Amino acid sequence: MKKYLITFMFLLFSQSVYANTITITTGNLLDNGYDNTNPPRQSFASHLDFTTTGTTQITVNGTTTLYGMFTSELGLWIDGVAQSPLVFTANGAQAFTVNLSAGDHAVSVVVGLQSDNGGSTVFGSFIDSVSTASGTLTALAPTPSNRIVIYGDSISVGQGSTYPEELGWDVLLRTAYSHEIMIEAWGRRSLYDDTHAGNSAFVSRIASYNPSKIWLAIGTNDY
């Protein structure tokens, strides 16, 4: 059977995107502050949510630049239940086959841990695309409301937890909160990196997320 490639384009309004075949190139993941293209590409724990119809197998394509440094993996949830993470075995692109039981499912793929080398480069594990050989994938569009923005460093990404995409404190908070939680954070980050050239750009970026609350957990690396 010919394998179709399904292209996801996330829209900023509350409609679903229907496709028979899918790639993420531009647009927004849920709880994502970046554009999927320019570094750091995607926010830690931002997630691609979609439903499946008429398929028992999907392929998740991702890329990591973090292998050998910290945990290199993507999170996976099926019908609201956390699954074993999708673990990279080397830096670069990797395809993961996910088998599904018969029937329709709600799937969430979660962006992995991120860190930097002192502010110049952000390393991480990112989502590139999801595809299926048959059936339909329906992407869920972001509908932000009462968003909490968490800004910080390794403390804010749950670095050191066994499975940050499931067990990071901010991800646990997300599961208990009925609205969006955006995590603007990566390991080794310092507030100085964002503000030494002036505070206005930093303030404007955080404000652009339209948060109802801002949680600041930063300062260790500045000290």
d(CA 66, CA 35): 19
49-83 as b/e, with b when 16 or more CB fall inside 10 Å? Answer: bbebeebbebbbbbbbbbbeebbbbbbbbeeeebe
Those residues whose C-beta lies under 8 Å from the C-beta of residue 19, and which sit 6 or more positions away, are 6, 7, 8, 136, 137, 138, 139
pLDDT of residue 3: 34
146-173 as b/e, with b when 16 or more CB fall inside 10 Å? Answer: ebbbbbbbbbbbbbebebbbbebebbee
Taking the model in full, what pTM does it have?
A: 0.86
Torsion of CA 29, 167, 85, 22, to 10 degrees: -10
For 79, the token pair is: 């019908």
Three-class SS of residue 104? coil
pLDDT of residue 117: 76
Instruction: Give the sign of the dihedral formed by CA 204, CA 207, CA 208, CA 214.
Output: positive
pLDDT by position in tens, the chain (length 223) = 333 333 333 322 233 454 565 656 555 688 998 988 888 899 999 999 999 999 999 999 999 999 988 889 999 999 999 999 999 999 999 999 999 999 999 999 999 999 987 666 899 999 999 999 888 998 887 777 889 999 999 888 888 888 999 999 999 998 888 778 999 999 988 888 888 888 898 999 999 999 999 998 888 787 7
Class of domain 17-139: mainly beta
What residues does 78 pair with on adjacent strands? 81, 107
- In single-letter form, the type of residue at position 207 comes to A
pLDDT of residue 14: 32
d(CA 91, CA 64): 5
**CB-CB contact of 171 with 111 (8 Å):** no
**CB-CB contact of 23 with 41 (8 Å):** no
Domain boundaries in the chain? 17-139, 148-217
What residues does 4 pair with on adjacent strands? 132
